[in-house]
A = this chain, B = another copy of it.
Amino acid sequence: MLPAERHAIILKEVAQQPAISIRALTEKLGASRETIRKDIEQLAGENKLNKVRGGATQIRTEEPAVEMRAATNPKGKARIAQHVLDKIPNGASVIIDNGSTTLAFARLLREFRTDLSVCTNDLTIAELLGPVTRELTILGGRLDVKENATFGSAAIENLSRFRAEFAVIGAGGLSGKALFTDFSRDAADLRHLMLEHAEHGFVLADSSKFSVVGQVVMRRFPASTTAVLDTEPPAEVMAALLEKAVAFEIA
């Protein structure tokens, strides 16, 4: 059995189920633990799968739907939202990213801040805040139906004409290895640009994002950016944040 054959079978298995154990693979492939282990090591290096103790797990290629994410850790998201809200003065201009955490932030805004100028690519947030903000600008672009938000080059171009005092963005995942990651290149690019186009940026990541790794690694944030978490992150995430000098606060 050639290595390429094994790799193909391993990837097929991992595509069919969320995880596969080394033990199961040794039987299926007739190879020793160590060989399988090295196969997994290599495939993990190529980002084809995640290496975990005892086997491998599939790399999540898309994040769960917004409704699902909104149901995850609502308390943590609300606490983060309140923390950020306290830092935004009345009358400010704010760029708000698409996502479940930023949606929680928008819900708070609707109740307590009716004098803001808001710019967003999230249609759910836009319809939520439209009636209560002083002005609401929507970023045009290709509509992603699942996210109910716009992305793509048109959105980026649209945003390039816009500046704000604050940017509030989300993240797909936060891990020790890759730090902030996202599930699509489009989203990552747009988010980065949002940070660059604001005087102060906030990156919201609740604890359900810990240990989640998306495919796209976000670029280094501008210096004016602060990450806001709801709980103390795992040790390796904490170490990575400190090493990369990412400013962060715990709500």
Question: When chains A and B are docked, how far (Å) is the Cα of A126 from the Cα of B64?
Answer: 15
Contact between A73 and B57, CB atoms less than 8 A apart? no
Cβ proximity bits A56-79 to B, threshold 8 Å, 1 near / 0 not: 010111011001001111111000
Question: When chains A and B are docked, how far (Å) is the Cα of A206 from the Cα of B45?
Answer: 11
The distance from the CB of A119 to the nearest CB of chain B, in whole angstroms, is 9
Q: Which of A91-99, A154-162, A183-191, A215-223 sits within the interface?
A: A154-162
Please indicate the chain B residues that have their CB under 8 angstroms from the CB of A152 in the complex: 137
Please indicate the chain B residues that have their CB under 8 angstroms from the CB of A20 in the complex: 2
Contact between A59 and B47, CB atoms less than 8 A apart? no
A4 at the interface (CB under 8 A from B): yes
- SS of A interface (majority): mixed
Please indicate the chain B residues that have their CB under 8 angstroms from the CB of A61 in the complex: 70-71, 74
Please indicate the chain B residues that have their CB under 8 angstroms from the CB of A176 in the complex: none
Question: When chains A and B are docked, how far (Å) is the Cα of A173 from the Cα of B141?
Answer: 30
Q: Which of A127-135, A193-201, A237-245 sits within the interface?
A: A127-135
Number of identical monomers bound together in the oligomeric complex:
2
Q: Which of A31-39, A142-150, A163-171 sits within the interface?
A: A142-150
Partner of A73, one of B59, B73, B127, B139: B59
A52 at the interface (CB under 8 A from B): yes
Please indicate the chain B residues that have their CB under 8 angstroms from the CB of A157 in the complex: 161
Please indicate the chain B residues that have their CB under 8 angstroms from the CB of A235 in the complex: none
Question: When chains A and B are docked, how far (Å) is the Cα of A130 from the Cα of B207?
Answer: 31
The distance from the CB of A247 to the nearest CB of chain B, in whole angstroms, is 24
Which B residue sits closest to A18, measured CB to CB? Answer: B8
Question: When chains A and B are docked, how far (Å) is the Cα of A206 from the Cα of B192?
Answer: 46
- Shortest beta-carbon contacts, A-B, top 7: A140-B140, A47-B73, A136-B143, A4-B19, A140-B158, A130-B145, A4-B57
New A-B pairs, 9, CB < 8 Å, besides A47-B73, A137-B142, A154-B161: A4-B18, A5-B17, A45-B207, A47-B76, A123-B138, A136-B142, A136-B143, A137-B143, A138-B138
